Amino acid sequence: MMLATAARNLTRRSFSTSKALAAQQLTVRDALNAALDEEMERDEKVFLLGEEVAQYDGAYKVSRGLWKKYGDKRVIDTPITEMGFAGIAVGAAMAGLRPVCEFMTFNFSMQAIDQVINSAAKTFYMSAGTVNVPIVFRGPNGAAAGVAAQHSQCFGAWYSHCPGLKVVSPYDSEDAKGLLKAAIRDPDPVVVLENEMVYGVSYPVSDQVLDKNFVLPIGKAKIQRAGKHITIVAHSKAVETAMLAANELAGKGIEAEVINLRSLRPLDSETIFKSVQKTHHLVTVEQGWPQSGIGSEICARVMEHETFFHLDAPIWRVTGVDVPMPYAKTLEAAALPQVPDVVNAVNKVLGVK
């Protein structure tokens, strides 16, 4: 009986004419892997280093197959010393190579923040434009699952605060591939804030995304969903939360426009301004803490721009709770923005009971 039911379900899926199922699917992990492979093949100056990136194929298997293909000189396992291997990577970039420095989690980048900020971000300015530092710092950022306070924080606000860095925060497979390739080709330091929770998730992609020449511009947001009643701005995994909330709101006749920021520095203010001038309402969503966050920056920019006069209600921020991440599963869920939080925020801004 169970076999017959499974067979029927399989048949239904096989003959589905849904566009979403018919589209080519690509996991975020494979998108990142393809970006690394294509850029290493394109430019012999590109190399990857970090903990377990070579023989183990990466802690999250993002670098799967690259060590076998490119060897010890271009895919390098490092000791557990972020300050050390980040410093080696920055020095290599100053000498003309293009290192991709992987942090097993961005929480561990705190060990190397002197290299990221003082060595990588400031050198171009301090050398009067004579020394470029073409380096990528990449790895999982933000909340994972069940790894508590020291492995769960979002560094979007931390790194986007610093002049000299570019900071991108991809959401889906298209973002991941296009932004990582752009970061590797960039002449300046780029921080790529990935999200561990979407590594294994498949997203539909076009032939264009699968092309070796596909690159996304750093500093340009994407309208993930068009709408006319309210603008919801998010980045990384919070885009998914915003999209699910927008779908729920659509059932009540509220059409939300969802903006996927993609880039946190430079921040695409113009896309936000244009959307808010159309919808007259704004909600920001992020998994990071509220104080001095990405949402706070967006609020400030809107207030300092003539877009402020287009608002029909105050801006509302939906953020992570202002506490270190709890370990307990129920408390972890309570500490992160959920779909009902976004829906409630939209209802409050629009004055819906």
Read out DSSP for 304-329?
TSGGGGG-SS--EEE---SSPPPSSH
Question: Considering the domain 24-210 in this protein, what is its CATH number?
Answer: 3.40.50.970
Strand 190-194 relative to strand 136-140, pairing:
parallel
- Residue-level pLDDT at 88: 98
Examine domains 24-210 and 222-350 and report if their fold is the same: yes
What per-residue confidence (pLDDT) applies to 23? 72
pLDDT at 11: 39
pLDDT under 50: residue ranges of the chain: 1-20
State the distance between the two ends of the chain, measured CA to CA, in whole angstroms. 48
DSSP letter for 198, please.
Answer: G
The beta-carbon contacts of 67-73 under 8 Å, at least 24 apart in sequence, are 69/37, 70/40, 73/47
The architecture (CATH level 2) of 222-350 comes to 3-Layer(aba) Sandwich (3.40)
Per-residue tokens: 115: 């290299």
Domain boundaries, the chain: 24-210, 222-350
Q: What is the CA radius of gyration of the chain?
A: 21
* Residue 253: CB atoms within 10 Å: 8
Enumerate residues 6+ apart whose C-beta is below 8 A from 304: none
* Catalytic sites, residue numbers: 82, 151
- Best CA proximity match to 20, nearest among 242, 195, 223, 206: 206
Q: What is the pLDDT of residue 74?
A: 97
Quick check: 57 and 67 in contact, CB under 8 A?
A: yes
Determine the Cα–Cα distance for residues 249 and 61; give it in Å rounded to an integer: 37
- Please report, for the chain, how many H helices and E strands are present, in that order: 15, 14
The pLDDT tens digits for 71-105 are 999 999 999 999 999 999 999 999 999 999 999 99
At residue 353, the pLDDT reads 80
